[in-house]
Structure 1
Amino acid sequence: MAHIDLGVDEEEYPGIAGLLHYRPETAKPLNELAEVLLRGPSSLSRGERELIAARVSGLNECSFCRDSHSAFAAAQLDGGADLVGLVRADPATAPIGGKLRALLGIADAVRRSGREVTAGLVEAARAAGATDLEIHDTVLIAAAFCMYNRYVDGLGTIRPDDPSAYEGVARNVVANGYLWS
């Protein structure tokens, strides 16, 4: 049970869903940010951006965000859940391109501290083909997911233990995005 009464059935609205229903006036900008970062126009695919969110959430040990965004990434990447698992375990050995590997290195650094994003990491990403906009968005996705992870875990929300519980939500997010009313 969450640390506060969310006024919803937490089994029906686990993780951030209950929090968004609890405070719709803050849900709106949080959902809009997720929509822009993860689904808006970008040279990074939606699956790649979800993978960044899943990786950061996993490193932050936020199981709800890790599992939900892993499902969202898997639903949008050719390698599916197997690829997501390999990237979450070790991007250095996962079968992904050098650009995504370099961007995940930046995301990992942001997760530890924004100050750990070095000129060397940025130059390595550029050398691998990343644009300044892709670097910007990677930093912002990683920073935003540090916030989302702390929001979900800081209020002690419940989460499904079975990763398959996220598959229906993944289909909905892929089809409809993060904006809801």
Structure 2
Amino acid sequence: MAHIDLGVDESLYPGITGPLRFRPETAGPLNRLAEILLRAPHSLPPGERELIAAYVSGLNGCEFCCDSHSAIAAAQLEDGMALVREVLSDLDGAPIPGKLRALLRIAAAVRESGRKVTTVLVDEARAEGATDVEIHDTVLIAAAFSMYNRYVDGLGTLVPQDPPFYAETAKRILRNGYLGSTPSSPADC
């Protein structure tokens, strides 16, 4: 049970969906930010941006966000959940492009502290072909997801333990995006 009464049945609105329904006036800007960062046209594919969100969420120990964004990333990456699991467990050994690995290292630094992002990390990303926009957006994804993670965990929301829940969430996000993804009724979950 969440730390506060969210005014919804948490089994129907787990994780971030309960708090978003509790404060719709903040849900709009939060969902718009996620839509821009993770789905808007960009040189980084949406699956890679979702992987950055999942990676940061995993490092932050936010099970709901890690599982949600892992499923969304997996649905968009060629090697699916197997690749996501490899990245989450062994970044250095995962079979991903050097640019993505360098960006994930920047994301890991951001989630610890923005001051942990060094010129060396940025230069390494640039050497792998990362653009300034990709570096900027990686920093912003990592910062935003650290906030989203703290929002979900700080309110003590329900974390579903069934993988099919996350697979359905991924389908909904891929179909409707983040702007149309906050369920308005249990049938939308």
How far did 1:13 drift?
0.5
Q: 1:112 aligned to 2:105?
A: no
1:79-133 deviation digits (Å, cap 9, x = unpaired): 1000000001111110000000000000000011000000000000000000000
Q: Counterparts in 2 of 1:74-113, with a 5 A limit?
A: 74-113=74-113
Partner residue in 2 for 1:9: 9
Counterpart Cα distance in 2 of 1:156 and 1:54: 19
1:8-54 deviation digits (Å, cap 9, x = unpaired): 11111100000100000000000000000000111000000000000
Runs of at least 4 residues of structure 1 off by over 4 A? none
TM-score, normalised via structure 2 length: 0.94
Gap runs ≥5 in structure 1 = none
Counterpart Cα distance in 2 of 1:35 and 1:99: 22
How far did 1:165 drift?
1.5
TM-score, normalised via structure 1 length: 0.98
Counterpart Cα distance in 2 of 1:125 and 1:164: 35
Q: Partner of 2:12: helix, strand, or coil?
A: coil
How far did 1:164 drift?
2.5
RMSD over equivalenced CA pairs, Å: 0.8
Partner residue in 1 for 2:47: 47
Q: Partner of 2:178: helix, strand, or coil?
A: coil
Aligned length: 181
1:114-164 deviation digits (Å, cap 9, x = unpaired): 000000000000000000000000000000000000000000000101222
Gap runs ≥5 in structure 2 = 183-189
